[in-house]
Chain A
């Protein structure tokens, strides 16, 4: 910078003094307001560093004088939402489950909450779409077939206590292995089971198997193979197969029965969330209406399997999407 400043003749502005093949650069000064704005941003940055988390440290960062943290904001937000939902949560815990679907607002709240609970806790086995996994024996929750009952109360009980676990009240049953039978006998039973729901089968073998079925299977599955929900014995006469309906799959299950396990959610989730997720599952398309006492009336079992159409025909109650913004314009 020892040289005297060079002035550009045309503009009268000083140049930077550099020259590239005769091309020189003007050193046009900044507008004053621009410089002030720049200084203001520097000052703002310093104040921000003091007040807010700024400098990364080895573990964590400086906290800033205001003690702001995004995690704290989330906690506060959750607390706020829980507080505003406290009333609904309390009524959900105490309401008679049979009456829940008729209580529109509460039901909508339960289904909405249940969707999140399902996604966080249930979808790992039953799938995000609740369609289950045949290969692993996770039941499909969308259809109208229920192992342990499809009313709201029965679903809530299953969620609360689970299936085949350490909970003393859990659903429990066990199918014994029939590997002591002759292979031919097992084959005949399998043909009979397939005949129950009208699948392809060997008629002669099925006839033989019918007697074997009555002797060995009907105590749980019933003489006509309609199953028994008290025992979680599946209905063998419908089109739905928990572990596959092929001849091989049936033989596999006869030889070495596999049993599904579901953890008890009652303590972990709490009663309100158990009820919420039950309402969600109940609304997935196969939920059954509450009837007098399905367990004592074997004949009513199939009647109970009819999808419910008695709920108030409140529009906008789709299981996936129903929400508080339903009536308001949503797009």
Chain B
């Protein structure tokens, strides 16, 4: 029975999406141009930050551990901004998914955008669907080689540009470009470009829909976040079924009245425009609006038939809507047989009934045969989008956004952290005074060096010293952190020298702007002595 054993693998069924035009295709073009434009152009925007800082508007400066975004500069200890943005991105995806389904997948996922770009190139070089199918089945002639090599060359160019643009976010773009072409850039830059070139070419050019079907977890997660009220791309089977080729009975009748088949052909088209007329098959059975032309299948980049219902593969790119609308216009039926719809939005009647179709297209019910039928219209779009669930997501999303913006504007330009040295907690000096040490980090976020003046406020008479310095003024270089060991000393008669702990407050003052910041910490006296530590005698 070996011959009956299932195959180890299934070869990919190649997909040849047909070109389509329409509202959603135009929207996708616009999004493709905007997103790719942002990606390629952003690293080249200049932003003057003075002589000490890079003049690239968006720069992830890994070497100096800074993230520059126009006028905003993020230090590593402010990583919560990034965390907050990631949470916002997550909530944003929840919001869009619960309102509009897999709209991220269909329009702005990089996999979708780059695949779209690669498909455009493919169509431009090898022709539209039918030409590509012929070429696919053709033997490897010189022409096929030429077309394939051209296509792959253009894909490779796009891939290199993709990987190339990525590295510009991590270094000064003009300098790096010069280094790259003169073979002087760091090996990691070339390696990154090579890896991203390979992944772009493979994922965008060769694997395409398989990335979404086999590799990406997001489709499964999103399926769990949609509900019957979510707008998604679907087929109104109650309107389209039973599908089939056929005409309108009245066309026949009218044509016969005028004078036979020739007239029928001539006037048929005009009669088709009457959307209220029912379609029938040639055998006389009532038909739905779907003429089974497979336009929606031909344009699908995932290679599925949307009429089979909701499917894991569907990325809701909405191209089938454009394709079907085009056909509906030609046969004189209202648009929207395939449309953005909610799964719970369907008339409370049997599928295929003409009255509902008419009602849906906005025709007054009385105009349609059978006025006694209930008039039905789908819920307006805003009622799908403004639901408690989406409002909740929006509120959470906005709250984090407001928090981040506020945090961004109230963060100080000078900053200090104080870490008391605990080994030992204090040192007795020969004159009997008690000294505590603190590791103090002073952060200067200005683009120039600033003198930072350290001082102390406490109930006791304590003095403060900076290790190795005559005074307590520390010069902190521009845009950097300075670590200092700071000593706080209590003279013998002072109560703090004996007491176990005294609360003190260390102040730092910017000598130029007068901006102040403080940090509360503890001074340990002799009573904190632990015999085992042996820190005093």
Chain A residues close to B by CB (< 8 Å): 1-2, 4-5, 14, 27-35, 127-129, 131-136, 138, 140, 142-145, 197-198, 235, 238-245, 283, 285-286, 305, 309, 311, 313-322, 326-331
Q: Flag if A318 contacts B485 (CB, 8 Å).
A: yes
Bound together, the chains give a CA A331 to CA B442 distance in angstroms of 11
Q: Flag if A143 contacts B534 (CB, 8 Å).
A: no
Contact with A along B136-175 (1 / 0, CB 8 A): 0000000000000000000000000000000000000000
Bound together, the chains give a CA A5 to CA B2 distance in angstroms of 11
Q: Flag if A328 contacts B64 (CB, 8 Å).
A: yes
Cβ of B388 under 8 Å from chain A: no
Enumerate chain B residues within 8 angstroms of A32, measured Cβ to Cβ: 9-12
Cβ of B469 under 8 Å from chain A: yes
Enumerate chain B residues within 8 angstroms of A131, measured Cβ to Cβ: 423-424, 427, 533-535
**Known contacts A30-B10, A313-B468, A329-B64: does B430 contact A305 (CB below 8 Å)?**
yes
Q: Flag if B430 contacts A134 (CB, 8 Å).
A: no
Closest B residue to A235 by CB, please name it.
B430
Cβ of B219 under 8 Å from chain A: no
Q: Flag if B439 contacts A31 (CB, 8 Å).
A: no
Bound together, the chains give a CA A235 to CA B431 distance in angstroms of 11
Size of B's binding interface in residues, CB under 8 A: 61
Which of B1, B439, B537 meets A242, CB within 8 Å?
Answer: B537
Closest A residue to B437 by CB, please name it.
A285
A-B contact list, 19 entries, CB within 8 Å: A2-B1, A5-B6, A14-B6, A28-B10, A33-B210, A127-B423, A131-B423, A131-B535, A134-B536, A135-B532, A143-B427, A143-B429, A241-B537, A243-B537, A245-B537, A313-B468, A319-B467, A321-B485, A329-B479
Main DSSP-derived SS at the B contact region: loop
**Known contacts A31-B9, A327-B477: does B421 contact A144 (CB below 8 Å)?**
no
Cβ of B49 under 8 Å from chain A: no
Enumerate chain B residues within 8 angstroms of A14, measured Cβ to Cβ: 6
Q: Flag if A326 contacts B482 (CB, 8 Å).
A: yes
Q: Flag if B8 contacts A321 (CB, 8 Å).
A: no
Cβ of B76 under 8 Å from chain A: yes
Smallest Cβ distance from B523 to chain A, in angstroms?
Answer: 16
Bound together, the chains give a CA A4 to CA B6 distance in angstroms of 11
Closest B residue to A242 by CB, please name it.
B537
Which of A305, A309, A318, A326 meets B439, CB within 8 Å?
Answer: A318
Which of A28, A140, A240, A315 meets B482, CB within 8 Å?
Answer: A315
Bound together, the chains give a CA A318 to CA B10 distance in angstroms of 66
Closest B residue to A319 by CB, please name it.
B485
Q: Flag if B470 contacts A309 (CB, 8 Å).
A: yes
Enumerate chain B residues within 8 angstroms of A127, measured Cβ to Cβ: 423-424, 534
Enumerate chain B residues within 8 angstroms of A239, measured Cβ to Cβ: 428-433, 492
Cβ of B25 under 8 Å from chain A: no
Q: Flag if B482 contacts A316 (CB, 8 Å).
A: yes
Bound together, the chains give a CA A329 to CA B77 distance in angstroms of 12
Bound together, the chains give a CA A326 to CA B469 distance in angstroms of 16
Closest B residue to A101 by CB, please name it.
B468
Bound together, the chains give a CA A197 to CA B537 distance in angstroms of 13
Which of A31, A240, A285, A322 meets B487, CB within 8 Å?
Answer: A285
Excluding A242-B537, A318-B467, A330-B481, 18 further A-B contacts by CB distance (< 8 Å) are: A5-B5, A28-B10, A29-B9, A30-B9, A131-B534, A135-B531, A135-B534, A136-B534, A239-B428, A239-B430, A240-B429, A283-B467, A313-B469, A315-B474, A315-B476, A316-B483, A316-B484, A329-B75
